[in-house]
Amino acid sequence: MKKLLALLTLAVLAAGPLAGCGEKPALPKVEFKNTDLSGLDYAHDFALTDHTGKPRKLADFKGKAVVMFFGYTQCPDVCPTTMAEMESVMQALGPLSDQVQVLFVTVDPERDTQALLAQYVPAFDKRFIGLYGTPEQTAAVAKEFKVFYAKVPGKTKDSYTVDHTAGSYVFDKTGKLRLFVRHGLGPEPIVHDLKLLLN
């Protein structure tokens, strides 16, 4: 009987450390202020050209957090305010801003030429990059990123506007989709969430 008890005691003592090895400590829950898209299976990549004429894809920016906005240069409201907001975000981040890349993807490939994007986008911050493609490439990227855009006719053929999704996607430094930033919330929530992603 004593031998049986001794064997049971040894078995319990031996099992204790093994049980502990299998348990992983719970990861702290990240509290984003913007919409958390972590784990969703879309917005994987794009194939576009930047405002210097260089072909670009998402992997080019690995190692940086990426904020990606879809708009157009003749947009009267959402686009300039979003770009100005991102300019304020970069200023608020200070030295951390060097780890952030802002991308402006045009949904108006007919009018937004490379030269126009080169003038418009870096005017907000010289590090910002404008991206464009053919109408077919633009449609493919919009589909991949679940972005809506549609022409609204104007008084003349070239005076149309473009209705489009008013928000930005944020990717972490590994290129994974993490956040959707709604338009008009101000810089503070974006600064807060980018700091979480960068640390």
What type of residue sits at position 56? R
Distance CA 38, CA 180 (A): 10
Are 40 and 177 contacting, i.e. CB atoms less than 8 angstroms apart? yes
In a 10 Å sphere around its CB, with 0-12 CB exposed, 13-18 middle and 19+ buried, how is residue 177 labelled?
buried
User: What residue numbers does the annotated binding site for Cu cation cover?
Assistant: 75, 79, 164
Are 181 and 34 contacting, i.e. CB atoms less than 8 angstroms apart? yes
User: What residue numbers does the annotated binding site cover?
Assistant: 75, 79, 164
Distance CA 80, CA 87 (A): 10
